[in-house]
Amino acid sequence: MANGENVVPNLQDRTTDDAGALLNESGFRLGTVVSHGGGEQRVAEQDPAAGTPARLDSAVNVTVGSPSNGWTLWLIFGGLAVIALLGGLAINARMRLARTTAHALTIRPSLDPDGPVSFEGDVTMAGPATHLRTSLEDGEASFEEPGPVIERKEQNG
Amino acid sequence: MADGSGVQVRDLLPSDLQIGQTMKETLSKEQGIGAARLAWGVVGSQAADAIKGVLNVDALQLLGSAWSVAKDLHEYTDRTKHPDGERSVVYLGSHRFKKTVYPQLAVTIEPFKPVTLRFALDLMADIRSVALSILNGRITGTGGGDGALGAQLRYGDIALNKLQLRKVGFPGSFAFKDPGIAIL
């Protein structure tokens, strides 16, 4: 590095006041300050760039803004997206649950005690809106020819 | 005296009996229900359980009602040949038959009117031999035997499961519920 030069310090994320003080310590001075947005202003860009040699007492121009604005926006939009997603999932889950519970089942087998066969069924209770009622009706029997043949018989009494 | 054959008709059906699609297709044709958004998978599963519940009956009960219409046994309704109080044991040889029962499922989806679905269950029996006890024109029990049984549930012409026969052995002594099954 030549005499009368120094390395430009890194001003990134410093306030304008801090950047000016640091530049003064390093033998530079704060030049043009271009500002974007409001709120707390911090250095986003600098010219010359940090680490480059520059003549002492030369000006270092900075662009300041609210670097958090971008993140804030991302956080806001990201947060809204997450909320919407979770909300959607929750709503969907509630709808599914409502659909399931609203149409849950009550099962009460109805059996004919006078039929030739006595049937008993399981009972499952699951809700009021849809009801299943089962019954069993006796039907026909059909034998393949020649059908059952008595091969032997025993009698007593 | 055994309480049963150990084979329930429901156990002859597959555990994953699928009837949800059949119910959906049938019930969706009904006015109003077609537009209802139902968890058909849940409805079908519960309906399958309900049908199996009503088929929680000993296979021998259905076999007994089939034997009650066998021609060779008809003579036991003749009290001149077989007077009251006469106890008979008959041994039937190899025979095959199908016994059908109709599980009915009445479905009410509020606020719509009930819809009844009439299923058919074919109990297929391939009997090698069986002994039947007969008293007063009724089959009162079985006295041993063996064969193979299978069941197929249908809705109309649609088979809802694949028929598979499985070997069974009947207990040495099984009594039908009093007074027994009337021979026709």
DSSP state of A38: S
Residue A51 has pLDDT above 60, yes or no: yes
Sequential DSSP letters for B49-97: HHHHHHT-SBHHHHHHHHHTT-GGGGGGG-TTTS-TT-EEEEEE-SEEE
Residue B52 with chain A: CB contacts under 8 Å:
122
Mean pLDDT of A50-60: 89
Q: Where does residue B1 rank: exposed (0-12), middle (13-18), buried (19+ CB within 10 A)?
A: exposed
The shortest CB-CB distance from A144 to any of B97, B103, B181 is to B97
Residues B120-136: tens digit of each pLDDT: 999 999 999 999 999 99
- pTM, two decimal places: 0.62
The shortest CB-CB distance from A137 to any of B93, B102, B127 is to B102
| One-letter-per-residue 3-state SS of A116-153 | CCCCCCCCEECCCCEEEEEEEEEEEEEECCCCCCEEEE
Inter-chain CB proximity A107 and B49 less than 8 Å: yes
The shortest CB-CB distance from A117 to any of B62, B106, B109 is to B62
Rounded to 5°, the CA angle B84-B94-B81 comes to: 20
Q: Which residues contact A74 (CB under 8 A, 6 or more apart)?
A: none
pLDDT of B30: 79
pLDDT of A95: 44
Inter-chain CB proximity B103 and A100 less than 8 Å: no
The shortest CB-CB distance from A134 to any of B54, B70, B120 is to B54
Inter-chain CB proximity B99 and A148 less than 8 Å: no
Q: Does residue A145 sit at the B interface (CB-CB below 8 Å)?
A: no
The shortest CB-CB distance from B57 to any of A119, A132, A157 is to A119
Residue A118 with chain B: CB contacts under 8 Å:
57, 61, 177
Residues A8-27: tens digit of each pLDDT: 999 988 888 899 999 999 89
Residues A69-101: tens digit of each pLDDT: 556 666 677 777 777 666 665 554 444 433 333
Inter-chain CB proximity B90 and A150 less than 8 Å: yes
pLDDT of B154: 96
pLDDT of A78: 75
pLDDT of B35: 59
- Which residue does chain A place closest to B179, by CA atoms? A116
3-state class of B98 per DSSP?
Answer: strand
Q: What percent of chain A has pLDDT over 90?
A: 15
Q: Does residue A38 sit at the B interface (CB-CB below 8 Å)?
A: no
Residue B105 with chain A: CB contacts under 8 Å:
132-134
**Which pairing describes strands B138-155 and B120-135: parallel, antiparallel, or unpaired?**
antiparallel
Q: Which residues contact A26 (CB under 8 A, 6 or more apart)?
A: A6, A7, A8, A9
How big is chain A, counted in residues?
157
pLDDT of A16: 86
Inter-chain CB proximity B50 and A152 less than 8 Å: no
A103 or B47, higher pLDDT:
B47
Inter-chain CB proximity A155 and B88 less than 8 Å: yes
The shortest CB-CB distance from B50 to any of A107, A120, A142 is to A107
Residue A125 with chain B: CB contacts under 8 Å:
none
Mean pLDDT of A40-67: 85
* Mean pLDDT across chain A: 71
pLDDT of A112: 40
Q: Residue A65 — very low, low, confident or very high, per pLDDT cuts 50/70/90?
A: confident
Nearest to A102 by CA among B42, B71, B63: B42
CA distance B104 to A111: 10
Q: How far A139 CA lies from chain B's nearest CA (Å)?
A: 5
Residue A94 with chain B: CB contacts under 8 Å:
none
pLDDT of B14: 94
Q: How far B75 CA lies from chain A's nearest CA (Å)?
A: 11
Q: How far B166 CA lies from chain A's nearest CA (Å)?
A: 19
CA distance A102 to A108: 18
Residue B99 with chain A: CB contacts under 8 Å:
139-141
Low pLDDT (below 50) residues in chain B? none
